[in-house]
Amino acid sequence: MSNDVMAEIQRDYLFNLVLKGERADGRAFDEFREMSIETNVIGAAEGSALVKLGDTQVLVGIKTQPGEPFPDTPDVGVIITNAELIPMASPEFEAGPPREGAIEIARVVDRGIRESKSIDLKKLCITEGEKVWIIFIDIHVLNNGGNIIDAASAGSIAALLTATLPAARYDLGEDSQIPMRDIPVAVTAIEFGGELLLDPSLDEEQIAGTSLTVITNTDGSISGMQKSGA
């Protein structure tokens, strides 16, 4: 049986479940899978977190070091976010330069952190125009069970909350925590069969026409949105 036929059978099965108000894993339309977050899992990193969301697993590491600010923001720290889709995480992931999916994950996570102003970037300034703290957020997708963005966002925030600015290592005073002032949360939904399903599984993602990620702050305000698909 061809992959196209199998995909059509899967789509019809999931569609009929939605028409009955059901999902394949028994969840309600607005129900998330169980999430667990373990922090400080990478000894060599300044901060880290391992997130499990259903079958999805994402590892996030934080590295921090002093460096030059951007010329147009001389007194503001720098955030650099990267995502890697490890080939063993999914047959669809290939080794090589970052693909569109990895770039999108990094962009959405980065935007959520910046636009929520969850980090006080002014406090990352060491010497205006010369030296600021640079924060590297490295996202590694270990297993793709669907809804990578929400897992990556949660892992990034958890890792940042545990991360240290190693000032003593660079003779810049005492070590301190990254100055966090908000905890943004990403929620992704897909549209399928005329319904919105939160936290889509991989099977649901593969047959959905549209997905929407909304990032909100602790006060309920929206700090970012990303639409994918038709």
Q: For residue range 128-143, what is the model confidence (pLDDT) as tens digits?
A: 999 999 999 999 999 9
**Residue 126 belongs to domain spanning:** 34-181
In a domain? residue 108: yes
Condensed to tens digits (0 to 9), the pLDDT of residues 168-210 reads: 999 999 999 999 999 999 999 998 888 899 999 999 998 887 8
* 11: pLDDT strictly greater than 90: no
Interacting residues of 29 by C-beta distance below 8 A, sequence separation 6+: 21, 23, 195, 196, 197, 198
CA dist 70 and 73 (Å) reads 5
Higher pLDDT, 6 or 187: 187
**153 and 139 in contact (C-beta within 8 Å)?**
no
Which uninterrupted H or E stretch holds 190? Answer: strand 185-192
In a domain? residue 15: no
The CATH number of whichever domain residue 52 belongs to comes to 3.30.230.70
pLDDT band, very low/low/confident/very high, at 8 (cuts 50, 70, 90) = confident
Q: What is the pTM of this model?
A: 0.90
In a domain? residue 64: yes
Which uninterrupted H or E stretch holds 19? Answer: helix 3-19
Mean of all residue pLDDT scores within the chain? 91
40-48, long-range: CB < 8 A, 24+ apart:
40/162, 45/159, 45/163, 46/163, 46/164, 46/165, 46/166, 47/159, 47/160, 47/161, 47/162, 47/163, 47/164, 47/178, 48/159, 48/162
In a domain? residue 164: yes
In a domain? residue 113: yes
In a domain? residue 117: yes
**Bridge-partner residues for 216, per DSSP?**
185, 222
pLDDT at residue number 2 = 59
Count of the separate structural domains present in the chain: 1
CA dist 207 and 10 (Å) reads 8
pLDDT band, very low/low/confident/very high, at 229 (cuts 50, 70, 90) = low
